[in-house]
Amino acid sequence: MTNSRFLTFFFLLLIVPGILLTSCIKAGEDDPAISLRSRKSRMAGKWKVTKVNYSSIWDRIPVYVSRKIKFENGVFTYNSYSKDMGLQETRIDTSGNYEWNIEFSRSGSYDNLLMINGSKREVNGTWEFASRDSINMSSIGFLTDAGFFRELIPFFYQGKYYIKQLRHDKIVFFTNNDFSGGELVNMEIVLEPQ
């Protein structure tokens, strides 16, 4: 009987901590190998967007459009080039100042505030982690919300963002999608604590 109790205790000593730590193990490709904080705990908090690199190409007859947007260190730049079938070309180049803050709650809500040249844009909503790829859990995690960035920047991709890095001091989202039947989008967004 004593041997049976010892085996049960030993089994629980090995299994229970493993179950408790599964949400703390690396899921994004640049996540820490192991963390004492769960992914949800690392996500929750007040963040500032320190860097965004966005590029998209729409190559569908009758229009070709290329966009590049960069937010970094309080300065944003926007460059757009388009050409229609009549070979009419349009270029837009602009820049300015920005401040972008996001607060994620553990309960799944967020407040997203972007100030561009003094103009305020705000979106509030909910977020959640979508299921991870069970075969390659070490490299993929998702954040989903239908209008998370698109409400602030109208042509930003709406949908799933992969979480490349989720640390207590840095979050990196990215997406690279072919959607709308011809638009290729690549975007990386870096957040740091406020």
Q: Name which of 38, 46, 192 is nearest 111 in CA terms.
A: 46
pLDDT tens-place string over residues 77-94: 999 999 988 788 999 999
Give residue 142's pLDDT: 45
Which stretches of the chain drop beneath a pLDDT of 70?
1-3, 6-36, 130-160, 178-182
pLDDT for the residue numbered 191? 94
What distance in Å separates the CA atoms of residue 74 and residue 117, rounded to the nearest whole number?
A: 10
- Predicted local distance difference test score (pLDDT) of residue 22: 46
Please name the residue that has the structure tokens 């260190």: 73
pLDDT digits (tens, 9 = 90+) for 1-25: 566 776 666 555 555 554 444 444 4
Q: How many CB atoms lie within 10 A of CB 26?
A: 17
pLDDT at residue 190, rounded to an integer: 94
Q: What is the pTM of this model?
A: 0.73
- The rounded percent of the chain whose pLDDT value lies above 90 is 26
